[in-house]
Amino acid sequence: MSQIKCNHLSPSLLWDLRSGPPLPDPVYHRAALAVILNRLERPVIEVILGPRQAGKTTLMNLLIRNLVESDVPAESLFYLNLDLLADIRFLSDPQLFLRSITDAMTGAGLPAAGRGYVFLDEIQRLPEPGLFLKGLYDAGSALKIFVSGSASLDLRARIKEYLPGRQHETQLLPLSMKEIVQTEIPQLPVPQRNIPSFKNDGYWKELDDLYGTALQKVVLRHIVSGGYPAVHQALSQTESLEILQELFTTYVQRDIMSWLRLGQAGLFNDLVRVLASQVGNLLRVQEICSLLGGNRATVGKYIDILEQTYIIFRLRPLSFQARDVLRRMPKCYFMDTGLRNFALRDMSSGPLRADWGALVENAVLMEIIKGIGPLEEIFFWRTKAGAEVDFIVRQGRSLVPIEVKAGDLAPGTLPRGLHSFLGRTLPETAYVINKSSFGIFKKDKTTVFIIPLHWLPVMGPWTQG
């Protein structure tokens, strides 16, 4: 893929038209790209947030490439990585920064009031990012501004405080299985909406004969190694493991500790390992405190930090009383199964793992979260009697239960918890993700889809099945 030119800041703090670093190989499809491109003409600042190395810089470069390929002059494109800026004072005054851009545009023969595009990477380096962006926005220029920021507890708040209604946030997480499949198996004829449009076993079996093995490889690799792009771009399993190690030690153990000035490194690291060993379980904070010897306030604070920095995700129970959701215990999962497995130093795969069922459940949840719509929410369901459904996707009054089984489901049968939920709520559709069985049948008013795990990448949207 050829390199694209745009304006980069030189060491002398002047804009210089040149090629940036080459894009990684392969460049994985990102669903967020089309979403952001559809908003190019809207007068809002595009804010891309997510963990380090999730692909934010690559996404910005893909946006730049799309603009150039749409005949936008390279001279009107400006990219600045604040991590590489030696003197942050260059961005102390929004007016001076804007003047540097208009000077560069007029120097290239473009109108000073013409349309320009500014990309500011790693905006969290600024002491007051929201105030700086407000200054750019209030100047009323014709610039379209894109910013990215790595996980930081207060970055989102520091931006929203100054830009209410004037920014649109995109959360960029590690690659989904769907994004990997769209890149590595582009010939796969994905149905118009999702796999329930496969109306007969014959059609599904024909596709499975053609693509099933390739899909299994993608899904298994993702379950074990997670979705960080560099892990999938690695040339060998050894390199992939080295990248995971670097991610874990620099991001989880160093960056977060440094950002937040956490005083108890041992407790924090032990907590990460304990949470990794308990994915899919109820988050019993007091039990963890007893196990680690930490006080509840400190352990609770560290759990909050891990969630806000995209390491873990707390899944809340479904309740029709809002107060009950806040009171009742959540479950804990990892946002990336590769980091989770590395925390336990176990990169093995398959049912011989004692935690294989929990690991598959974690991977399915993350795939649902990465593809969920803006009006959809996800919960788990559990009764006092112990009946349970792994995941419930809710949009308005529509409820879609999703149960995960690491093994195969016997034809025509339902897990006990799902059977109980269907009897109580009568949803239109329900799903069981299992090892390899496929089927569609009716249970009272509910259409139940039995889906093989390796077809998970073509699923969704869940509430429109």
Torsion, Cα 18 22 27 32, to 10 degrees, reads -40
Q: Could you tell me which residues are beta bridge partners of residue 301?
A: none
Q: What global pTM score does this model have?
A: 0.93
Paired with 439 in beta bridges are: 450
Tokens at 128, concatenated: 């007051």
| 20 Cβ contact list (under 8 Å, min separation 6) | 3, 4, 6, 8, 61, 64, 79
Instruction: List Cα–Cα distances, 126 to 93, 167, 245, in angstroms.
Output: 11, 17, 28
Residue appearing with tokens 């980069």: 8
- Two structure tokens written together for 120: 């500011």
| pLDDT for the residue numbered 61 | 95
Which of 356, 374, 307 has the alpha carbon at shortest distance from 335? 307
Residue 246: CA count within 13 A, CB half-sphere: 11
pLDDT at 260: 65
Per-residue tokens: 151? 């996980």
pLDDT < 50 positions in the chain:
192-193, 196, 325-326, 465
